[in-house]
Structure 1
């Protein structure tokens, strides 16, 4: 019974956290901005407490007083989760203040930040060469990433569905590498960077309209704290 109670409480916390994530019509997860009006730091603490409670209850080697161990795990998890949430809050605010391009979206998902840059900000049609304005924006992002060094960065390229799947995959990969290359040139350590191309496989809007296709042609910079 002692084990059941902390596990049930931790599971309830995880269910509450998952309620802040929804799926759009295109199969992509979207974040609803926290749990019950909580800010990111509070949501991070809640997530950490839930996970810490589970670990404390299930990783007890002596099997004595698992309720106590779950509580200790929850406290440690809450501190770690709250710290990550606070860092992401600050980094998001700093990025939004330094970027002068309203077309760039910076979203805090609670455990990572996503910076979404549309094709029009970075590239000419069918090109993987970053234009002057896009380079300026990427150097701004690179400065921010240097100020917050404890994270990994994945650069992900996306296209619309026009053209063959092979062409779109190749273009998305080349665009991701181009963006990562500029971040590296801006001072971001290469061992923090990785790239991926998704082609047209992860649309955020309908490819049946001009506006929808424009939204799908984008590059995402995903920033995940390492501690």
Structure 2
């Protein structure tokens, strides 16, 4: 019965037509690593047979079943052996070095139009940093050096057993090493430190015999959290080294692009200040209402007082003056249920993470519990130059540097330019916010300009456009806007602002200005 459950679970993960529910995927995701380690080859042989037979039948009817079974079974067995052997080695190293290692199998989604990337595109390995590096250092500790050396020796061995396949693998395979940090301290420092740590691991890979041309590294800093940064007992999970073994360079480019705006990393914010729980008014709110948080600027550095931040007034003055600079007629964040991005469906193109535990996690925190996120470039170990990508200036329809604006309690709020590229919904030009108080036409009030920075997170048909103001004294803290990719429309939007030490939110639904 146990074996039957495991086979059914893995079949659900590989054959999307099986219709496994989100709850089923959640319950089985934790066991996929064990399946691959213990039963990878026989299970994937079986999955290959089923998938191959189905594909053969779809192409040639009954006459295509047997050829499809033969091809699918062969491919499934090869993939199963590679997966099983890698996971067994990782499991051994984890036990020997007392490491916490998690893995994810990278597969190309069925909707992706990619010809040069095989369906089984790679393996993602996350190693939690529980002593690999000394605090604030990019040098491996003695135990860290020993553990990374073992990992490097494992990756230096070709996964394929056939000599011809092993030779091809060594020419096309790429390794991506990504350093991650928690959100404590300065964001720029964390990003640079995580980059240097990734490069240190890359040097050990070089020493193991992996060619420099096959190794890339990146410092993601705190931009991709997998645990609550506001909880001192959990935030350590964000300090990790990620090693991604990829089939070829196109798969490497796909991986780098997919991670840049991956909505799964919105499940946790980058605020390190503990958020007191707000009183819920319904059972639904008890489950998903965002917690109260101080203003974004005051929470950026957990060990820095509000008074010591540039341009901020003292806590006493802020408490005494609990009125906002501009009254947007909003409500306290403590009574606001942020659910706007829960309608964003994950992209159906690119990678599918078979063993991902994040598939059902929807964005849960607003921009008020977040900070601007910036991951470094993917760099080559050959010359420290960025990974070459195809330059594009092809914009999503309606988001080619247009001006978007609307009134909020009689005040005109403008965000421009809204500049979103078609490729991975990347921001091309950073926006500027403008505010005209008590707007009338014509107005006597001059616009107040606020510099800003935007992050985007792409779904199948919508994009979350998250904007932060750079000035700690700005009358607007941040805004979340959900844009439709099919037409220039906003489906949901919210503007956040401060009043003393409290945060407030008001609806904001900008519309594009006529050209």
Tell me the TM-score normalised to structure 1 length. 0.70
Q: Which residue of 2 aligns with 1:166?
A: 188
Conserved? CA contact 2:225–2:238, under 8 Å: yes
Q: How far off its partner does 1:44 sit?
A: 3.1
1:105 to 98, 101, 106: 101
Unaligned 5+ runs, structure 2: 1-13, 107-119, 160-168, 249-515
Secondary structure of the structure 1 residue equivalent to 2:228? coil
Q: Which residue of 1 aligns with 2:139?
A: 129
Q: Whole-Å Cα distance in 1 between the matches of residues 48 and 218 of structure 2?
A: 29
Report 1:22-61 matches (<5 A): 22=25, 32-33=31-32, 39-45=39-45, 48-49=48-49, 52=52
Q: Whole-Å Cα distance in 2 between the matches of residues 53 and 209 of structure 1?
A: 49
Change beyond 3 A, Cα 1:57–1:154: farther
1:206 aligns with 2:210: no
Q: Which residue of 2 aligns with 1:78?
A: 73
Q: How far off its partner does 1:47 sit?
A: 5.2
Q: Which residue of 2 aligns with 1:3?
A: none
Pick the structure with more strand per residue.
Answer: 2
Q: How far off its partner does 1:141 sit?
A: 1.3
Conserved? CA contact 2:40–2:80, under 8 Å: yes
Q: Whole-Å Cα distance in 1 between the matches of residues 151 and 19 of structure 2?
A: 29
Q: Which residue of 2 aligns with 1:14?
A: 16
1:68 aligns with 2:63: yes
Deviation track 1:114-134 (CA, whole Å, cap 9, x = no partner) reads 433233332122222222221
Conserved? CA contact 2:101–2:128, under 8 Å: no
Q: Whole-Å Cα distance in 2 between the matches of residues 166 and 123 of structure 1?
A: 18
Conserved? CA contact 2:90–2:101, under 8 Å: no
Q: How far off its partner does 1:215 sit?
A: 0.8
Q: Whole-Å Cα distance in 2 between the matches of residues 166 and 146 of structure 1?
A: 32
1:215 aligns with 2:237: yes
1:177 aligns with 2:199: yes
Q: How far off its partner does 1:160 sit?
A: 1.0
Structure number with greater CO (CA < 8 Å, separation at least 6) is: 1
Conserved? CA contact 1:104–1:115, under 8 Å: no
Q: Whole-Å Cα distance in 2 between the matches of residues 174 and 98 of structure 1?
A: 24
Q: Which residue of 2 aligns with 1:191?
A: 213
Higher-Rg structure is: 2
Q: Which residue of 1 aligns with 2:128?
A: 118
RMSD: 3.9
Change beyond 3 A, Cα 1:51–1:127: farther
Change beyond 3 A, Cα 1:16–1:39: farther
Q: How far off its partner does 1:86 sit?
A: 1.5
Pick the structure with more helix per residue.
Answer: 1
Q: How far off its partner does 1:158 sit?
A: 1.1
Deviation track 1:5-41 (CA, whole Å, cap 9, x = no partner) reads xxxxxxx9334497699569xxxxx55417x999323
Q: Which residue of 1 aligns with 2:90?
A: 95
Q: How far off its partner does 1:206 sit?
A: 0.9
Tell me the TM-score normalised to structure 2 length. 0.34
Deviation track 1:182-205 (CA, whole Å, cap 9, x = no partner) reads 111222222332223322232221
Q: How far off its partner does 1:49 sit?
A: 4.9
Secondary structure of the structure 1 residue equivalent to 2:175? strand
Conserved? CA contact 2:182–2:229, under 8 Å: yes
Change beyond 3 A, Cα 1:106–1:94: same
Conserved? CA contact 2:156–2:208, under 8 Å: no
